[in-house]
Amino acid sequence: MMKNIYLIGIGGIGMSAIARFYNHFGYNVSGYDRTKSQLTAELESEGIRIHYEDCPSLVPEDTENTLVIYTPAIPDTLKEIQLVHKKGYRIIKRSRALGEIATDKKCLAVSGTHGKTTTSTLLAHILTASGKGCNAFLGGISKNYDTNLLLSREDTLVAEADEFDRSFLQLFPDIAVVTAMDADHLDIYGDVSHVREAFVAFGMQVKKALIVKKGLETYFNAASARVYTYSYDDSTADFHAADIELRTGGYLSFSIVTPMGVIPDCTVGVPGWVNVENAVAATASATIFGVPAEEIRKALKSFCGVKRRFDIHINTERCTYVDDYAHHPAELAAAISSIRNIFPGRKITGVFQPHLYTRTRDFKDEFAASLSLLDEVILLPIYPAREQAIEGVSSETILEKITCPRKKICQKDELISEISSRDIEILCTFGAGDIDRLCPQIENALKERFSC
């Protein structure tokens, strides 16, 4: 019986949820991360010990009773990872830990190269608000519950199924959603065909119902689970929105058409057409799982969203500020399209921090095309995360291909003054790196300037 849980890379969004899970059940939880963050501060306040230097002597010495969980983003050169391998600890990846937790539960999983965090969080909220209850491991911080981990006495588990490093192949869900299968993580997969092969393999592991974005169903002809399709507004999909009307502030009213009947008069508590599409996917999973239509309608309306997913910080007639985690060209295009739909005719200034040298290299043309949908573009330097720099790859690689006339590269420490010097109508910040640490300063600067 393991007594100690030690997490290498504990500050990651998925790792922190697992740390919280084991801490809740009385294990001695500790870990390492490279940098302090709001999330690591919260873990420490919950009684979890964390250190921020690569120090093998701080790894629990009891090899027999310590489980080491690590994220594949951790480099092999880390002294702590070398120590635990050398001394014979039981070592598993984060994905394996989640798979083991899910083994004896009814698992509802949400996968996809984008859209999975909001959809899984919305599904978890539907189950929780309806009284069915669930445990949930989420890839973002739910604004309804201010956490990325929900706990329940029920044996239902909602899991965000991550395709990075083929992590989702550790899950064997009862019901699963596939939101998208775009090219991404090509440093791992090589090309889009291998990305799709991994999703198909995941779909083959689903036991009862597989819900896929309309257009993807042909990839899953051999699945043993029943395959359903969903869409924002394609009436040929099994689940789709209809009677869509734009309301004040970008909120939409709509009906959800399902094979079991129509759920009329729906709204989502966060604006944007992308959130209606996410709501349709979450509704499909919840409906198949047995949540009544009226409970789904109420939960959609009370959903507050996810931090850094279409996260509106300021919304006045003079100035609007939206922050979003978008770090893939398709995500950027969807977010910008939603903002245009909500605020027609207003100038949109976007700040984008590219995430990873490989992703920038592989999708430079697609990033440029998505960012060209903006009126003004400010690029920050690439956030490298786990990678070393690649010669000839920089934010300039994207900038030179962007077609909108007002574009520039800005250093992080100059961003606040750059924003303050501009005539801002709508400001959006995008990226999966550390751009979120600037959000409070940006918000304060805009509020001070526009007296929000």
Task: Tell me whether residue 99 is in a domain.
Answer: no
Regarding whether 275 and 138 lie in a shared domain, the answer is: yes
Regarding whether 263 and 170 lie in a shared domain, the answer is: yes
Task: Tell me whether residue 198 is in a domain.
Answer: yes
Regarding whether 135 and 14 lie in a shared domain, the answer is: no
Regarding whether 242 and 161 lie in a shared domain, the answer is: yes
Regarding whether 351 and 271 lie in a shared domain, the answer is: no
Tell me what pLDDT residue 452 has: 63
User: In the predicted model, is pLDDT for residue 43 greater than 80?
Assistant: yes
Q: Among residues 272, 302, 332, which one ends one of the domains?
A: 302
User: What residues pair up with 91 in beta bridges, in sequence order?
Assistant: 68
Expressed as residue numbers, the domain containing 279 is: 104-302
> 275-306 as b/e, with b when 16 or more CB fall inside 10 Å?
bbbbbbbbbbbbbbbebebebbbebbeebebb
pLDDT digits (tens, 9 = 90+) for 53-104: 999 999 999 999 999 999 988 888 999 999 999 999 999 999 999 999 999 9
Tell me what pLDDT residue 6 has: 98
CB atoms within 10 A of CB 385: 13
Task: Tell me whether residue 97 is in a domain.
Answer: no
Task: Tell me whether residue 98 is in a domain.
Answer: no
Task: Tell me whether residue 316 is in a domain.
Answer: yes
Tell me what pLDDT residue 409 has: 97
* Threshold 0.95, pTM exceeds: no
pLDDT band at 341; cut points 50, 70, 90? confident
Regarding whether 74 and 188 lie in a shared domain, the answer is: no
For the chain, the straight-line distance linking the first and the last C-alpha, in angstroms and rounded, comes to 55
Regarding whether 228 and 141 lie in a shared domain, the answer is: yes
pLDDT digits (tens, 9 = 90+) for 124-138: 999 999 999 999 999
User: In the predicted model, is pLDDT for residue 197 greater than 90?
Assistant: yes
State percent of the chain over pLDDT 90: 87
Residue 342 Cα to chain centre, angstroms: 22
C-alpha to C-alpha distance for 22 and 31, rounded to whole angstroms: 12
CATH number at 292 reads 3.40.1190.10
CATH number at 330 reads 3.90.190.20
User: What residues pair up with 136 in beta bridges, in sequence order?
Assistant: 150, 158
Tell me what pLDDT residue 136 has: 97
Averaged pLDDT for residues 353-358: 96
Averaged pLDDT for residues 233-250: 93
Structural domain total, the chain: 3
pLDDT band at 1; cut points 50, 70, 90? low
Regarding whether 197 and 64 lie in a shared domain, the answer is: no
Q: Are 256 and 283 in contact (CB under 8 A)?
A: yes
Regarding whether 296 and 187 lie in a shared domain, the answer is: yes
Residue 56 Cα to chain centre, angstroms: 31
Averaged pLDDT for residues 47-52: 97
How high is the mean pLDDT of the chain? 95
DSSP assignment of 332-377, as one string? HHHHHHHHHHHSTT--EEEEE--B-HHHHHHTHHHHHHHHTTSSEE
Regarding whether 382 and 291 lie in a shared domain, the answer is: no
Q: Among residues 302, 325, 345, which one ends one of the domains?
A: 302
DSSP assignment of 168-206, as one string? GGG---SEEEE----S--HHHHSSHHHHHHHHHHHHHT-
Query: How far is CA 349 from each of CA 186, 251, 290, rounded to the nearest angstrom?
Result: 29, 21, 43
143-147, 244-248, 292-296: range with lowest mean pLDDT: 244-248
Regarding whether 368 and 416 lie in a shared domain, the answer is: yes
Tell me what pLDDT residue 25 has: 93
pLDDT digits (tens, 9 = 90+) for 161-182: 998 888 899 999 999 999 999 8
> 425-442 as b/e, with b when 16 or more CB fall inside 10 Å?
bbbbbbbbbebbebbeeb
Tracing tokens 């919304």 back to the chain, one arrives at 315
Tell me what pLDDT residue 133 has: 95
Tell me what pLDDT residue 2 has: 83
Task: Tell me whether residue 63 is in a domain.
Answer: yes
Structure token digits, residue 100: 């083991």
